Structure 1
Amino acid sequence: MTIKPADYDLRELRRMADEGELPLDLSASDDGQTAEDIFRLSQREELMKLQTQFLASGSLPEKPYLTLLPSRYGAEVIVFEWLDFLIEKAGFENSSNALSYYEEIGWLSEPACEALQSYMYGFSEVDRFGPDGPADFDTNDHVLSLVYIARLATL
């Protein structure tokens, strides 16, 4: 049985996942949404939930949002996932520039930015790109980075 996520509401999808009614068909849905579109939407929803949690506690966090990288194992998994996304999308130079930009706008502190850039040395850029080479980041990519920053900040 193939399930198209766009054909169900979120509660139905969760129920199906819990009951093991998979695999999902993540190709474009009837309304033209791709798996990437659905993923981006879920990331924005996660960011909104995190913001709501901060507001419920009385205030939003102050800048920089991420002052230091958490030392927990789970934090390293998030860091590697985020950096892998950045490097795979845009390469080392653009990823390093993006991290520096996040520091400039106050999403990261200088120590957090330096730690993230040092983690980048563990990645390989070889054969990651298509024929057009590395891409530039778009607004959705920066929103996704903010989601990763928020995840790390809440650990």
Structure 2
Amino acid sequence: MAIDPRNYDLDELRAASGASPAGGAEWPSEGDAERGADESAQSDAEAADRPAAAAAFESSVTRDLVAMDHQGGPLDRPYLPALPASLSAEALIFEWLEFLVLQAGRESVADALAFYESVGWLGNDAAAALEAYLTGIDDARANADNDLDADDHRVSLHYVARLASIAGR
């Protein structure tokens, strides 16, 4: 099922993706999406200090957010009121939480989930369920001294969008 971009705040997506029009230019038209994705892939390929898998994932996130940006419609919050009940959703949830825990440790992830709930990315039920999942995740490789940055939150928004698409929102 495709992500329904009508459920997302376009300004929030733009800010989360780090995208901004250069020199005060207008946001690209729908026909420019493919060209923008190609340019994004080129800039990702040029970043030699990142692993290829990380560059490919970031490029995928950017393409998804650009695609959502080119759609219009009424906004509905929260984006993810409750977690979808499926095996694929559960695998995605564990993948997302593991990513966040490895980035900054469990305590920072709990703070991030509370923040996502406060800004409307998650509903009360989704936040509570994610907290329950989080109690079962611990990894010795976690970088607890690190803080989650804007890129990490952008990845989280991508996971929220993917889970919302599984839920049919």
What's the TM-score, normalizing by structure 2? 0.64
Which of 145, 149, 154 is the matching residue for 2:160?
149
Mapped to 1, the partners of 2:66 and 2:92 lie a distance apart of 19
Q: Which has the larger radius of gyration?
A: 1
Mapped to 2, the partners of 1:129 and 1:137 lie a distance apart of 12
Percent of pairs with identical residues: 37
Which of 55, 75, 80 is the matching residue for 1:37?
55
Which of 134, 153, 161 is the matching residue for 1:120?
134
Q: Where does structure 1 lack aligned partners over 5 or more consecutive residues? A: 1-8, 11-27
Alpha carbons 2:101, 2:142 under 8 Å: kept: no
Post-superposition offset of 1:124: 1.6
Mapped to 1, the partners of 2:152 and 2:74 lie a distance apart of 22
Which 4+ runs in 1 deviate beyond 4 A?
none
Corresponding residue number in structure 2 for 1:3? none
Equivalences, count: 123
Corresponding residue number in structure 2 for 1:16? none
Mapped to 2, the partners of 1:90 and 1:148 lie a distance apart of 17
Post-superposition offset of 1:32: 2.9
- Alpha-carbon deviations, 1:30-87, whole Å to 9, x = none? x3342323421221212223454xx3xx625411100000001111011010000011
Give 1 or 2: higher helix fraction. Answer: 2
Moved more, 37-46 or 64-73: 37-46
What amino acid maps onto 1:110 in structure 2? Answer: N
What's the TM-score, normalizing by structure 1? 0.70
Mapped to 2, the partners of 1:32 and 1:146 lie a distance apart of 23
Q: Where does structure 2 lack aligned partners over 5 or more consecutive residues? A: 1-36, 39-43
Mapped to 2, the partners of 1:61 and 1:76 lie a distance apart of 26
After superposition, the Cα gap between the structure-2 partners of 1:103 and 1:111, relative to the gap in structure 1 and judged at 3 Å, is same
